[in-house]
Structure 1
């Protein structure tokens, strides 16, 4: 059992497809009215039908007032870290602190290269990502950033402005090297979808993160753990990911919180996103909070 006893939060993934823009805008406003905590936007700019993640988030932030936004996840190969930090803190200032920065090393090298980025793979990608995360951290903290290496040359940038609250830096990771970077440097781990990193695979990954955090002198309990959950609430008993009635969803997310250590769940509905978001917010979220609190209180 791995429960880090962090407060729970819940979010919804938005479709960045240009042709679905009207529905995406409506869904973002619905999610805010429903009381969800986060709106997540994937970052695959090489997809010709995808809107740019930062442009989409910036626009949606002007149409909402409370809900937070997270890049799930921004591609570090296409977004230089100091400039990415500037974008994040700028949007945080403009939204009153509603930005969380999810980043990833860049998992599709050939697609990245199609936009002019470097097609880094394996240890080279990890080394670049770790150095990028270190520079991001310094820039998000408002430090003077000077760094010269084969990967980056930053000549003394005075970072700023300072946001109203620290911009949390979450790292999307799946394999050992990137999970180790997460434990050493990030404020949280964003797991890939539950169909890519299945629940049975999670404990070993949490252990890698925890060991890296401890080796770096950090408390593993301070790291957020985010699970992207694709599936369907109700309806047919087949489909990708978590599929079932509300009772199954409540019991499963409760188990994933207290046994696997996740504190944040982002819903990726496979169909009927408005209806699924409403079911998630009204029937799943409060019941999971109640069950997790009851289990924690009994320990």
Structure 2
């Protein structure tokens, strides 16, 4: 994962092109913030889906996505159209990542809403909106006739998606988050569930809660792939290898390694040699 802030486009492109040549690296990710949430608050930050489309056009093998799209930023029908376009540009390599949006307690994340004239509702509103958005997006990707949708938070008349994504029935849906309310949405909609790493005991508890919610609605918990984001330490790779080991031992098979900027030369090869190959596992 290359967070597109405090970097130049060419920096991100260099890392993705290098990663695209390394089979051990299976997927690559951006994040979805409109302003920096770390470093210089007035530094550069790129819009994720526009950048993702450009990177899709410059790569051939990597699966790719946004970890995770803020459902607060874009109406779901518009987001479905954007994602379809990226899936087509990439030749069917999109992993569709989405979440409720920035947590209210993060001041650097919160300011981007005011700065862009976007509403910022409370957490219950955001999660309920996410649930409806996932329903709308899947229907736009799969249904062959126009439809109306009248939910609590989203209302569409004559909604229809054309073209459809390359991937059928639709791109994999990754839902990110750790709250119990978001886990219920993941149980209903996600092919992949992602959580930030840190306290592995808490991560395990959250995974067990997702198991419970899946069972309650009659879904096999094993049908939801477990994904975790882990920060990379260039200076102490052993710490990162240890975190990868803990995560895989806990049943997480989809590992996203967050690269801090600036990116060293040949960083994708370094990640492979230092973090992936020693454990003979994929990231």
TM-score normalised to the size of structure 2? Answer: 0.85
CA separation of 1:185 and 1:45: change in aligned 2, threshold 3 A = same
Tell me the SS of whatever aligns to 2:21: helix
Match of 1:183 among 183, 187, 191: 187
Q: Distance in 1 between matches of 2:177 and 2:31?
A: 14
Match of 2:39 in 1: none
Q: Distance in 2 between matches of 1:87 and 1:265?
A: 25
Match of 2:107 in 1: none
In the alignment, is the contact (CA less than 8 A) between 2:99 and 2:177 conserved in 1? Answer: yes
In the alignment, is the contact (CA less than 8 A) between 1:106 and 1:112 conserved in 2? Answer: no
Tell me the SS of whatever aligns to 1:59: helix
Match of 1:254 in 2: 245
CA separation of 1:54 and 1:290: change in aligned 2, threshold 3 A = closer
Q: Distance in 2 between matches of 1:63 and 1:38?
A: 14
Is 1:270 the equivalent of 2:260? yes
Q: Distance in 2 between matches of 1:62 and 1:134?
A: 28
Is 1:158 the equivalent of 2:146? no
Superposed displacement of residue 250, structure 1: 4.3
Tell me the SS of whatever aligns to 2:34: coil
In the alignment, is the contact (CA less than 8 A) between 1:142 and 1:161 conserved in 2? Answer: no
Is 1:30 the equivalent of 2:34? no
In the alignment, is the contact (CA less than 8 A) between 1:148 and 1:154 conserved in 2? Answer: yes
Deviation by residue 1:262-295 (Cα, 9 ceiling, x = unmatched):
111111123544454322223432343469xxxx
Q: Distance in 1 between matches of 2:114 and 2:148?
A: 27
Match of 2:149 in 1: 147
Stretches of structure 1 that go unaligned for 5 or more consecutive residues are: 1-12, 236-242, 292-299
Q: Distance in 2 between matches of 1:202 and 1:51?
A: 30
Deviation by residue 1:169-220 (Cα, 9 ceiling, x = unmatched):
111112111112111221111112x24xx21211110011111112222111
CA separation of 1:217 and 1:289: change in aligned 2, threshold 3 A = farther
Superposed displacement of residue 113, structure 1: 3.8
Tell me the SS of whatever aligns to 1:34: coil
CA separation of 1:46 and 1:290: change in aligned 2, threshold 3 A = closer
In the alignment, is the contact (CA less than 8 A) between 1:142 and 1:160 conserved in 2? Answer: no
Which range is displaced more, 79-88 or 46-55?
A: 46-55
Superposed displacement of residue 159, structure 1: 2.1
Q: Distance in 1 between matches of 2:8 and 2:86?
A: 24
Is 1:86 the equivalent of 2:90? no
Cα RMSD, aligned residues only: 2.2
In the alignment, is the contact (CA less than 8 A) between 1:232 and 1:276 conserved in 2? Answer: no
CA separation of 1:244 and 1:289: change in aligned 2, threshold 3 A = closer
Is 1:174 the equivalent of 2:169? no
Q: Distance in 2 between matches of 1:55 and 1:263?
A: 28
Aligned residues: 265
TM-score normalised to the size of structure 1? Answer: 0.81
Superposed displacement of residue 160, structure 1: 3.0
Match of 1:122 in 2: 123
Stretches of structure 2 that go unaligned for 5 or more consecutive residues are: 37-41, 105-109
Tell me the SS of whatever aligns to 2:193: strand
Structure with the higher fraction of residues in strand conformation = 1
Superposed displacement of residue 98, structure 1: 0.9
Tell me the SS of whatever aligns to 1:14: coil
In the alignment, is the contact (CA less than 8 A) between 1:228 and 1:266 conserved in 2? Answer: yes
